[in-house]
Structure 1
Amino acid sequence: MTSSEEQKPQKAERSREAILLLKTDMNCRLMVNSDNHGALQKNTPLSITLPLGSHLINVITQDGLLEKEWTQDLNNEKQVVYLIQLAEEYAQLQAKREEEVGKPLGIECWSVDQIQQKQMATATEIGLTKVFRDGPDAPEMVVIPAGSYRRGEAFNKYKVTITRPFAIGKYPITVAEWKCYVEKGKISYSPSDNDWEGDNLPVTNVSWFDAQNYASWLSTQTGQTYRLLSEAEWEYACRAGSVTEYYWGDEIGHNNCNCQDSGSEWSRKRASPVGSFPPNVFGLHDMLGNIWEWLEDIWHDNYEGAPSDGTPWSSEGNQLGRVMRGGSWSSFPRYARCAHRHGSVPAIRNFNFGLRLARTLP
């Protein structure tokens, strides 16, 4: 076979292909026929060689605010140039979102009475009382209604809608509750109490994996689904309709929680017995200060691409880190705010790491 004959099939093959040249007026992520082609940069054309025919093109902005999808036909052209115009529509959507999150929404518009009435109605609807317990081994749980709120720091809020009601521990898991787990679950690990002593203290020195194992055991004991909270659920439950830095106001104040400079007798010394401070509007104690609480989510540096439906963010991010919230008795006040985020390696056990559980409701 001659050299020229060898080239004929390749030419024929190339004649059945075309180049799609994509340009965009803002950075986005690109999918072609459900295959991830990564980032498409503003003013940086990208050439893709594709077979002749129809191809499904999908682009989405980095923050997920705007997504476009279309079918691109490639016929006999050698090259097709397509300009992806996102900037104008994105600016309109962003302005609308900023207007929306710049003022109270959802539960933030309700009075204290309305919030608590909604709690009661939600509990009644699913056949529970507002505060309940699934037997002697289980913690006290509080019903939290579905609703919307603005999540995050004042300069970077976005709307989250908790689509389903859930229950959350009235207090962090205590030493007494963990002792029950050690005894009945026949586990070998009994966390150090830091020489503080007291069954009504929050259990500490537990890792994220320890917390998961406890939730799994409790689910088996009760026949219900216990789990760690998502980060979005935690902030929703913590705020309880508030829009301030702390759920009681914009200042740390005196004796509202257990952290540095909070005026409590335990500040910078040790954890306090659970329930030592007034609850938030939902009736939850110690959501800020006392101990850091492990959450389900993988650590991400910011909220770009985060779910907006209250579910945990369990993809991408730093797979070696998990989110914690709430601050502790040793934290500065700025770390014990509703919006503050913290992360840690899930295997670490620390003197101020603890947990609070959620329970999935019907």
Structure 2
Amino acid sequence: MEEQKPQETERSREAILLLKTDMNCRLMVNNDNHGALQKNTPLSIALPLGSHLINVVTQDGLLEKEWTQDLNNEEQVVYLIQLAEEYAQLQTKREKEVGKPLGIECWSVDQIQQEQMAAATEVGLAKVFRDGPDAPEMVVIPAGSYRRGEAFNKYKVTITRPFAIGKYPVTVAEWKCYVEKGEISYSPSNNDWEGDNLPVTNVSWFDAQNYASWLSTQTGKTYRLLSEAEWEYACRAGSVTEYYWGDEIGDNNCNCQDSGSEWSRKRASPVGSFPPNIFGLHDMLGNIWEWLEDIWHDNYEGAPTDGKPWSSGGNQLGRVMRGGSWSSFPRYARCAHRHGSVPTIRNFNFGLRLARTLP
């Protein structure tokens, strides 16, 4: 009997917190990630006696709640997380504040694709093209207007000229070609992942710039990084939802945490593993963070409205990244989410996608 007492004492120092929610959300307990908390599906967590910090956030990041939960000597504490009513109020407020859809947001799928074809025809290219065997596959994006930014911070941007964007992030195979034929010896780590069709990672902003310059020299065309405004325009492809497929992360739409893919929280996925957006672009959300041209700014105050890169002011030591990655929470893999990093950093989540200026 004496041998059982320590175990009983240990159990007596814990309590069960039973959480229930009226909306799907993400759960953090004492800054530890507990993943998705599903609507009307109770979740029990064994915690030591004492105070615990609980944080929940809806999948689109619109509503977040934090509180301290005290556990004393109760065997079980039930807490109902009520989000639905406040979330509905915020959605109504958002709809009033962001104004009506404009520009490409008003186009049908057929019209978007027709505009793509017209833009490609105007410059003498196919909608999807490649400038030679060593160049990435590119997709023509038509000019247009849209509302850029988060739900409560949108402003009108007009892309004045068509441009082209990589159908996929730059791949391991494409970077290998750069090493073999270019004037560079840097071969990024493959993170012990196998496959030439994976997105190249462990590249800095400067690495990305050098690759674009080399490709421009090879092809005689102007390759470059996207501006942040171009990236969001291309990512949304006329959508006004949190993700280009809807307001929920859903199942197997991309590669990030809780996305239901076989690669989530494990590694990058082969490019093109998920359905494209309406423009025909793959992996715009999830998989790897993509370096952009812009200098990092904390907000959009003074941002260009013509789709050009924001190349003045801000934090000169930071550059913008977009898209989220295979290890990101869903809220970081949304169309509007912004991230910044030091341009010299190489990371297993960092990659790139190129733009090409059209005549």
Aligned partners of 1:292 and 1:328 also within 8 Å: yes
Matched, 1:288 2:285: yes
Q: CA deviation at 1:118?
A: 0.5
After superposition, the Cα gap between the structure-2 partners of 1:299 and 1:63, relative to the gap in structure 1 and judged at 3 Å, is farther
Matched, 1:330 2:327: yes
Q: CA deviation at 1:125?
A: 1.1
After superposition, the Cα gap between the structure-2 partners of 1:187 and 1:87, relative to the gap in structure 1 and judged at 3 Å, is same
After superposition, the Cα gap between the structure-2 partners of 1:170 and 1:158, relative to the gap in structure 1 and judged at 3 Å, is same
Q: 2:272 aligns with which of 263, 271, 275?
A: 275
Distance across 2 between alignment mates of 1:11 and 1:268: 36
Aligned partners of 1:62 and 1:305 also within 8 Å: no
TM-score (norm 2): 0.74
Aligned partners of 1:64 and 1:305 also within 8 Å: no
Q: CA deviation at 1:187?
A: 1.0
Matched, 1:147 2:144: yes
1:242-321 → structure 2 map (5 Å cutoff): 242-321=239-318
Aligned partners of 2:58 and 2:64 also within 8 Å: yes
Distance across 2 between alignment mates of 1:237 and 1:263: 24
After superposition, the Cα gap between the structure-2 partners of 1:13 and 1:301, relative to the gap in structure 1 and judged at 3 Å, is same
Aligned partners of 1:259 and 1:328 also within 8 Å: yes
Q: Matched residue of 2:224: which SS?
A: strand
Q: CA deviation at 1:98?
A: 10
Give 5+ residue unaligned stretches, structure 1.
Answer: none
* 1:62-86 C-alpha deviation (Å, 9 max, x unpaired): 9999999999999999999999999
Residue equivalent to 1:194? 191
Q: CA deviation at 1:272?
A: 0.1
Q: Mean alpha-carbon deviation: is it higher for 16-25 or for 263-272?
A: 16-25
After superposition, the Cα gap between the structure-2 partners of 1:14 and 1:307, relative to the gap in structure 1 and judged at 3 Å, is farther
Aligned partners of 2:94 and 2:151 also within 8 Å: no
Q: CA deviation at 1:197?
A: 1.2
Aligned partners of 2:60 and 2:331 also within 8 Å: no
* 1:102-130 C-alpha deviation (Å, 9 max, x unpaired): 11000000000000010001101110000
After superposition, the Cα gap between the structure-2 partners of 1:191 and 1:273, relative to the gap in structure 1 and judged at 3 Å, is same
After superposition, the Cα gap between the structure-2 partners of 1:57 and 1:130, relative to the gap in structure 1 and judged at 3 Å, is same
After superposition, the Cα gap between the structure-2 partners of 1:88 and 1:309, relative to the gap in structure 1 and judged at 3 Å, is farther
After superposition, the Cα gap between the structure-2 partners of 1:226 and 1:35, relative to the gap in structure 1 and judged at 3 Å, is farther
Q: CA deviation at 1:298?
A: 0.1
After superposition, the Cα gap between the structure-2 partners of 1:89 and 1:145, relative to the gap in structure 1 and judged at 3 Å, is farther
* 1:144-168 C-alpha deviation (Å, 9 max, x unpaired): 0000000000111000000010000
Q: CA deviation at 1:186?
A: 3.2
Aligned partners of 1:202 and 1:271 also within 8 Å: yes
Query: Percent of aligned pairs with the same residue?
Result: 94
Q: Mean alpha-carbon deviation: is it higher for 244-253 or for 28-37?
A: 28-37
Q: Mean alpha-carbon deviation: is it higher for 157-166 or for 19-28?
A: 19-28
Give 5+ residue unaligned stretches, structure 2.
Answer: none
Aligned partners of 1:63 and 1:305 also within 8 Å: no
Q: Matched residue of 1:92: which SS?
A: helix
Matched length: 358
After superposition, the Cα gap between the structure-2 partners of 1:109 and 1:33, relative to the gap in structure 1 and judged at 3 Å, is same
Matched, 1:60 2:54: no
Aligned partners of 1:152 and 1:158 also within 8 Å: yes
Distance across 2 between alignment mates of 1:189 and 1:282: 33
Q: CA deviation at 1:348?
A: 0.1
After superposition, the Cα gap between the structure-2 partners of 1:197 and 1:322, relative to the gap in structure 1 and judged at 3 Å, is same
* 1:309-355 C-alpha deviation (Å, 9 max, x unpaired): 00000001000000000000000000000000000000000001000
Q: Mean alpha-carbon deviation: is it higher for 48-57 or for 344-353?
A: 48-57
Aligned partners of 1:101 and 1:159 also within 8 Å: no
Aligned partners of 1:160 and 1:310 also within 8 Å: yes
* 1:231-252 C-alpha deviation (Å, 9 max, x unpaired): 0000000000000000000000
Distance across 2 between alignment mates of 1:211 and 1:162: 23
Aligned partners of 2:172 and 2:198 also within 8 Å: yes
Distance across 2 between alignment mates of 1:310 and 1:148: 9
* 1:237-269 C-alpha deviation (Å, 9 max, x unpaired): 000000000000000000000000000000000
Moved over 3 A (4+): 5-101
Q: CA deviation at 1:26?
A: 42
Aligned partners of 1:290 and 1:328 also within 8 Å: yes
Distance across 1 between alignment mates of 2:158 and 2:25: 25
After superposition, the Cα gap between the structure-2 partners of 1:344 and 1:76, relative to the gap in structure 1 and judged at 3 Å, is closer
Q: CA deviation at 1:43?
A: 53
Aligned partners of 1:152 and 1:339 also within 8 Å: yes
Q: Matched residue of 1:178: which SS?
A: helix
Aligned partners of 1:151 and 1:159 also within 8 Å: yes
Q: CA deviation at 1:140?
A: 0.2
Distance across 2 between alignment mates of 1:255 and 1:196: 21
After superposition, the Cα gap between the structure-2 partners of 1:58 and 1:343, relative to the gap in structure 1 and judged at 3 Å, is closer
